């Protein structure tokens, strides 16, 4: 394990322990009241989901074109984390929606597109599991296409009438709300990095076992 | 256009996950010779042929075609392959199949090339029949012409004798000997030596992905073949 | 460049010839698309009236399903005699092979759409579909092209994979949802009592952008994805 791992894990744990305090002390939002506070976990997890997606996409590119095997391990781990953080987003979102909009689900494009992106990463994992030999390349191709879809998702938000808050909320947050938000975002991103490191390490060890098997046969 | 006189396989290994398909295969073949890849089913012969045909990359080691080691379009233009599945479109006629591949390989006159190939295979009268209606032997002849239509330096054959009657086998053997005289490098994989004995200048025996023996000359071939094929693991 | 287009044309011509001889994919795809529409008719028409926007949605679902079928069959054919291997053995530019195959499948789907559109207009009282033929064609062509661009690449790379029949939809549908959305909304905009042309224009431009991005991406990645 790299030296920074344990201290970082400790920091991350502390951050998540502190976050409810920060969130409770943040001011209430004008229209939505208490329920709005789920935003402090929902939006960071959505952002982490996107970060995971981009990490997966970039490393899929490096794997396909640079033939870098470690990039493939990173991509696989990032895809798994994308599914995890996407799931958190897709659960916290409806919880918030039910209370503030009155419906569990709304078929507007951003929700639909987040769901679609999430499904792309589930498809990535399915291909890796059931695609047989050579599935690493297939899933890398899928991830690239998935990443290329992200701008289309983003564009459709700005051009489509939706009851989802528009993307411009974050920069205009008042400091009292901004602090807990950025704190939670940092906590989520740190958690993502830690989990990614753990997962990639597992893949490296698997590859080492495989090469031991191969060396045994010689 | 690139060309080469020698095919050199250097320490080629290939694994799929934990399964080692090929392990440190090394041999050379010169222009104007026929090399046999002999071994039981599942030995790795098809994998090796795929690597030689640039369809598969080795996980270690390399293949050298003369001075060239990288698979490029120019290199592929000098390689012809006859796989077990023949690579022919059953709905197209013999002539159409040949003309398609001739055009794909950049021939300026694909129709003419197809006609000449059909003449060489003595199939001119069946030129306009769909390949699906041909017998195995006839399809094999068309497939062989398809593999040779661009005049490759290296010809790879995977179990070409399967399902052929005596006449077709004799025709194939004669054609291969012609190619050898013309200076081609022929690599032929088979598990059945009875048919091809006397054809090979050299033979490499492969078993479980490993190279067991490399033999030159036909007398030693029969003895080594028996030894390798019946050897306990 | 001429070599590239020449190879694409040869592959396309070969595909069309094979298809004309056997007509298997054309007949089965068309029949499937029509049955698809009929199933939706029975499912969604209540008391003789179709659900709002049903026509647009059904058209694109039928295209998506029929497309998946056509893609699967076309590449299954290449797998049978391992002819895809022969294509990859040739010194021809690999992306050119992709373009040739893409053109063939797009042509097939457009032919299917030529039959589906009148059929849907008839069954769902959606005569508005035919009122702005040029815009409809724009939506159909850009949408079909986007769908098939992704589909051809995935179907080609799945030829050697296990579970390829089920993996094609698993891979294809999530990625092409923007195409379906744009196609359906664009078609629906044409179906409104007063066709919303600016909206149609927007969706068509989105589709054009999608096509440009994904065809380029497919051309870049075809070679690394097809080599082992």
Calculate the average pLDDT of chain A. Answer: 82
Whether residues B112 and B215 fall in one domain? no
| Residue B177 belongs to domain with CATH number | 3.40.50.300
Cα angle value B105/B111/B114 (rounded, 5°): 70
Show residues of chain B in contact with C6, CB under 8 Å. Answer: 103
- Domain range for B113 is 92-151
Could you tell me the pLDDT band of residue B233, with boundaries at 50, 70 and 90? very low
Chains with ≥3 Cβ pairs under 8 A against A? B, C
Is residue B161 domain-shared with residue B226, that is, in the same domain?
yes
Mean pLDDT of chain B: 86
DSSP bridge partners of C49: C46
When scoring A214, A215, A216 by the number of chain B Cβ atoms within 10 A, the one with the most, hence best to mutate, is A214
Angle at C206 between CA C156 and CA C68, to 5 degrees: 30
- Single out the residue of A60, A62, A97 nearest to residue A82, CA to CA: A60
pLDDT at A30: 66
Which residues between 180 and 219 in chain C have a beta carbon less than 8 angstroms from any beta carbon of chain A?
Answer: 181, 202, 206, 209-210, 213-214, 217
Q: Would you place residue C196 in the very low, low, confident or very high pLDDT band (cuts 50, 70, 90)?
A: confident
pLDDT given at position A162: 47
pLDDT of residue C157: 87
Task: Clarify whether residues B73 and B181 are in a common domain.
Answer: yes
Verify whether the Cβ–Cβ distance C18 to B100 is below 8 Å.
no
A-chain residue closest to B20, CA distance: A214
CA distance C63 to C71: 12
Q: Is A7 on the interface with B (CB under 8 A)?
A: no
CA distance A146 to chain C (A): 6
Q: Do C17 and B96 touch (CB under 8 A)?
A: yes
* pLDDT attached to residue C154: 93
| Pair B165, B127 in one domain | no
Residue B86 domain-assigned (yes or no): no
Task: Mean pLDDT check: name the lowest of A162-171, A182-191, B195-204.
Answer: A162-171
Taking CB atoms and an 8 Å limit, are A126 and C202 in contact across chains? no
Q: What is the pLDDT of residue C82?
A: 86
C228/B57 CB distance under 8 A: yes
Q: Contact at 8 Å (CB) between A108 and A32?
A: no
pLDDT of residue A161: 45
Whether B20 and A210 lie within 8 Å, measured CB to CB: no
Cβ of residue C22 closer than 8 Å to a chain B Cβ:
yes
Contacts A64 to C, Cβ<8 Å: 221, 224-225
Domain count, chain C: 1
Among B51, B100, B143, B148, pick the best mutation site for testing chain C contact (most C Cβ within 10 A).
B100
What does the pLDDT read at residue A163?
43
Q: Do B92 and C93 touch (CB under 8 A)?
A: no
Check: CB of residue B22 under 8 Å from CB of residue B44: yes
Is the predicted pLDDT of residue A180 greater than 90, yes or no?
Answer: no
Q: Cβ separation of A217 and B23 shorter than 8 Å?
A: yes
The predicted structure's pLDDT at residue A157: 46
Please list every residue in chain A whose beta carbon sits closer than 8 Å to the beta carbon of residue C160. 134
Interface B-C: count of C-beta contacts within 8 A: 74
Question: What pLDDT was estimated at residue A32?
Answer: 66
% of chain B with per-residue pLDDT over 90: 25
* Sign of CA pseudo-dihedral C25, C30, C33, C35: negative
Q: Are residues B194 and B224 in the same domain?
A: yes
Closest CA to A142 of A82, A212, A211: A82
Of B104, B134, B151, the last residue of a domain is B151
Check C157 against A137: CB less than 8 A apart: yes
Whether residues C228 and B56 touch (CB distance < 8 A) is answered with yes
- Would you call B129 helix, strand, or coil by DSSP? coil
* Predicted confidence (pLDDT) per residue in A113-167, tens digit: 788 889 889 999 999 988 877 788 889 999 988 888 877 766 654 554 444 555 5
**Which has more confidence, A32 or C95?**
C95
Q: Is the pLDDT of residue C12 over 90?
A: yes
Query: How large is the average pLDDT for residues C42-54?
Result: 73
pLDDT over 90, % of chain A: 31
Of C10, C81, C228, the CB nearest to B100: C10
Q: Is C132 exposed, middle or buried (0-12, 13-18, 19+ CB in 10 A)?
A: middle
Question: Domains of chain A: which residue ranges?
Answer: 39-161+168-217
Residue B159 covered by a domain: yes
Contact B185, B203 (CB under 8 A): no
Tally of structural domains, chain B: 2
Reduce the DSSP state of residue B19 to 3 states and report it.
strand
Q: Touching check for C139 and chain A: CB below 8 Å? A: no
**Model confidence at B49: pLDDT above 90:** yes
- Cβ-nearest to A133 among B17, B20, B23: B17
Chains meeting B at 3+ CB pairs closer than 8 A?
A: A, C
In this predicted structure, which of A26-35, A40-49, B42-51, C16-25 has the lowest mean pLDDT?
A26-35
Share of chain C above pLDDT 90, in %: 40
CA B186 – CA B29 distance, rounded (Å): 8
Higher pLDDT, C161 or C14: C14
Task: State mean pLDDT over B149-169.
Answer: 88
Residues B13 and B57 in one domain: yes
* b/e sequence A4-43, b meaning 16+ C-beta within 10 Å: eeeebbeebeebeeebeebbeebeebeebeeebbbbbbbb
The verdict on B43 and B54 lying in the same domain is: yes
Closest to B95 measured CA to CA, from B79, B80, B110: B110
Domain that holds residue C184: 2-226
Region C129-147 average pLDDT: 89
Q: Residue C165 above 80 pLDDT?
A: yes
Of B55, B57, B96, the CB nearest to C85: B55
Tell me, yes or no, if A65 comes closer than 8 A to chain C by beta carbon: yes
Per cent of chain B over pLDDT 70 is: 96
Average pLDDT over every residue of A94-110: 74
Q: What mean pLDDT comes out for the span C57-84?
A: 90
Residue A138: which of C150, C161, C174 has the nearest Cβ? C161
Lowest mean pLDDT: which of A156-160, C15-19, C44-48, C213-217?
A156-160
pLDDT averaged over chain C? 88
Interface test with C, best of B54, B82, B91, B134 (most C CBs within 10 A): B91
> To the nearest whole angstrom, how far is the Cα of B57 from the nearest Cα of chain A?
12
Lowest mean pLDDT among B39-43, B192-196, C207-211: B192-196
pLDDT digits (tens, 9 = 90+) for A56-98: 999 999 999 888 889 999 999 999 999 999 999 998 888 887 8
Interface check for C227 against chain B (CB to CB < 8 A): the answer is yes
Rg (C-alpha) for chain C, rounded Å, is: 18
Q: What is the pLDDT of residue A81?
A: 95
Give the end of a domain, one of B117, B136, B151.
B151
> Which pLDDT value is given to residue B42?
80
B164 and B72 belong to one structural domain: yes
């Amino acid at each position: 394990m790299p030296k920074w791992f344990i201290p970082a894990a400790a920091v991350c744990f502390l951050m998540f322990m502190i976050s409810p305090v920060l969130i409770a002390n943040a001011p209430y939002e004008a229209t939505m009241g208490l329920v709005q506070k789920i935003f402090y976990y929902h939006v960071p997890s959505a952002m982490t989901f996107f970060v995971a997606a981009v990490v997966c996409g970039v490393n899929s590119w490096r794997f396909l074109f640079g033939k870098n095997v470690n990039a493939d391990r990173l991509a696989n781990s990032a895809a798994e984390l994308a599914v995890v953080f996407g799931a958190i987003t897709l659960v916290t979102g409806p919880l918030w929606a039910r209370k503030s909009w009155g419906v569990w689900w709304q078929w507007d494009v951003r929700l639909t597109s987040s769901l679609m992106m999430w499904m792309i990463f589930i498809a990535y994992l399915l291909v890796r599991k059931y695609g047989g030999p050579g599935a690493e390349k297939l899933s890398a191709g899928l991830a690239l296409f998935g990443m290329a879809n992200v701008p289309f998702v983003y564009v459709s938000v700005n051009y489509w009438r939706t009851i989802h808050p528009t993307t411009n909320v974050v920069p205009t947050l008042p400091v009292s709300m901004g602090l807990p938000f950025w704190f939670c975002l940092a906590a989520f991103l740190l958690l993502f990095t830690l989990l990614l490191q753990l997962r990639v390490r597992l893949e490296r060890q698997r590859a080492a076992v495989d090469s031991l098997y191969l060396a045994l046969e010689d | 256009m690139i060309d080469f006189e020698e095919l050199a396989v250097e320490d080629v290994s290939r694994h799929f996950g934990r399964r080692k398909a090929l392990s440190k295969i090394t041999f050379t073949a010169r222009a104007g010779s026929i090399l046999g890849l002999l071994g039981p089913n599942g030995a790795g012969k098809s994998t090796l042929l795929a690597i030689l045909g640039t369809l598969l990359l080795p996980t270690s080691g390399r293949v050298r075609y003369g001075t060239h080691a990288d698979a490029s379009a120019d290199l592929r233009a000098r390689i012809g392959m006859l796989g077990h599945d023949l690579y022919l479109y059953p709905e197209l006629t013999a002539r159409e199949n040949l003309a398609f591949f001739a055009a794909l390989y950049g021939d300026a006159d694909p129709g003419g090339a197809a006609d000449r190939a059909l003449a060489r295979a003595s199939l001119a009268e069946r030129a306009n029949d769909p390949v699906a209606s041909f017998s195995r032997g006839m399809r094999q002849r068309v497939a062989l012409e398809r593999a040779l239509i661009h005049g490759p330096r290296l010809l790879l054959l995977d179990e070409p004798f399967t399902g052929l009657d005596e006449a077709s086998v004799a025709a194939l053997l004669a054609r291969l000997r012609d190619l050898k005289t013309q200076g081609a490098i022929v690599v032929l994989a088979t598990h059945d030596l009875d048919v091809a004995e006397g054809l090979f200048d050299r033979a490499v025996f492969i078993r479980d992905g490993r190279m067991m023996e490399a033999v030159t000359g036909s007398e030693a071939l029969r003895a080594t073949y028996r030894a390798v094929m019946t050897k306990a693991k | 460049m001429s070599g590239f287009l020449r190879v694409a044309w040869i592959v396309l011509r070969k595909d069309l010839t094979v298809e004309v001889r056997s007509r298997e994919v054309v007949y089965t795809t068309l029949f499937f698309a029509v049955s698809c529409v009929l199933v939706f008719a029975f499912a969604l028409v209540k008391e003789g009236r179709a659900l709002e926007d049903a026509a647009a949605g059904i058209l694109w679902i039928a295209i998506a399903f029929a497309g998946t079928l056509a893609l699967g069959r076309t590449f299954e054919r290449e797998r049978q005699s391992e002819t895809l291997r022969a294509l990859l053995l040739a010194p021809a530019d690999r992306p050119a092979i992709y373009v040739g195959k893409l053109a063939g499948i797009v042509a097939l789907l457009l032919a299917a759409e030529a039959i589906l559109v009148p059929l849907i207009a008839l069954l769902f009282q959606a005569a508005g579909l035919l009122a702005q033929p040029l815009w409809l064609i724009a939506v159909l062509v850009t949408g079909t092209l986007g769908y098939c661009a992704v589909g051809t690449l995935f179907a080609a790379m799945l030829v050697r994979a296990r579970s390829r029949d089920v993996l094609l939809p698993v891979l294809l549908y999530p990625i092409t949802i923007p195409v379906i959305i744009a196609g359906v909304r664009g078609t629906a905009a044409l179906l409104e009592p007063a066709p919303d042309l600016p909206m149609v224009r927007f969706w068509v431009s989105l589709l054009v952008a999608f096509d440009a991005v994904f065809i380029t991406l497919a051309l870049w990645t075809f070679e690394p994805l097809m080599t082992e």
